[in-house]
Amino acid sequence: MIYGLFLRNMGPQSAPDIFTACARAADRSAIDELWIADHVAIPPEDAEGSGGRYLDPLASLAFLAAATERVRIGTGVLVLPYRPPLPTAKQIATIQELSGNRMMLGVGAGWMRAEFKALGVDRASRGKITDDTLAFLHRCFDNDKLEANGQEFLFLPRPPRPPIFVGGNAPHALRRAVRFGEGWMPVGGQASALAEPIKQMHALADESGKPRPETAVITSLALDDPPAARATVLEMADVGVTRIIHTARYDTAAEFATAAEAISMHMTS
C-alpha cells in the first residue's frame, strides 16, 4: 500500500510557515505522497472551514517542489474545466520538470455551481471539457511539436507525463480513468462500497486491452486506534485499493507531523 497525506492549502493552515513545516515533516517521514485541493472562487455561504482562503494548487505544487526533496506531490483533484488547456499543460510540465518527476496529477470535472458561474464556464459542458483537456495533455506529453488552433508550437520541456488519477463517481470517472489515466481517485466510502466499482473499472480495462488502473482513496484513518486503522487498510487492499490518502483537519504543523509519524510507525512497517 502507498500512503499519502492531504495537505491543507486552505484556511489558516495554508499560511506559509505552517504549509512549509507540514510539507517538510512529511518529507522527513515515510509518507509517500502529499496531495492538495482545488477551489478558485468559494462563495461566502460555503466558506466554513476555509474562510474562502485557498492557495492555487499548481502554484502550491511548484512551491512544494522547492520545499521538499523526496515526497511526491499531487493535486487531489485539479478541476480541468476551470483552466485553459495549453497554459495548464505548460504549468504541469514545469512542475514535473522542476520537482524531478515527483508530480501526481489528480483531475476532475468539478461540481460547484458557484465556481463555474464565477468563471463563466458552462457547467453542463464540464465532462466534454475534461475529456478534451485530458486528450490534449496526452498529446502534449507525447510530442515535442504539435498544433493547437491551427498553429504549430514546441512543447518543451517535455518530462515524463505525471500519472493521472481521475476523481469522481462511477460510471463516468471509471471510463475516464481507463481511457486517460493510471488510476481512479474516489473520496471516502467503505471497502465494501468500493469493491464493485473497482471490479467494473478492471473489467473496462481488460476489455480495452489497457493496464488495470490503480485506486487511490481519499479517506480518514483512525490513527488514534492503530489496530482499527490497519484493519481498514487491509479491507481496502482486499478490494483492490492501492493508495490511501489520509485526510483530517489540523490546526498546527505539529498535529500534521504527528499524523505523518503515526502512519509511518503503524502503517508502513
CATH number for position 189: 3.20.20.30
Share of the chain above pLDDT 70, in %: 99
Question: Nearest to residue 140, comparing CAs of 161, 165, 164?
Answer: 161
Pairing type for strands 33-36 and 72-79 reads parallel
Share of the chain above pLDDT 90, in %: 97
Average pLDDT on 243-259 reads 97
With cut-offs at 50, 70 and 90, classify the pLDDT of residue 269: low
Range of the domain at 21: 2-266
Number of domains in the chain: 1
User: pTM for the complete prediction?
Assistant: 0.96
Q: 197 to each of 105, 167, 201, how far by Cα in Å? A: 21, 13, 6
Cell numbers given for 227: 489496530
For residue 31, pLDDT over 80 is answered with: yes
The identity of residue 231, as a single letter, is A
- Scanning the structure block, which residue is given the C-alpha cell 494548487? 57
Per-residue pLDDT tens digits for 161-207 = 999 999 998 899 999 999 999 999 999 989 999 999 999 999 999 99
**How far is it, in rounded angstroms, from Cα 169 to Cα 62?**
28
How does DSSP assign 70-123, residue by residue?
A: SSEEEEEEEEGGGS-HHHHHHHHHHHHHHTTS-EEEEEE----HHHHHHHT--G
Per-residue pLDDT tens digits for 68-101 = 999 999 999 999 999 999 999 999 999 999 999 9
Cell numbers given for 85: 488547456
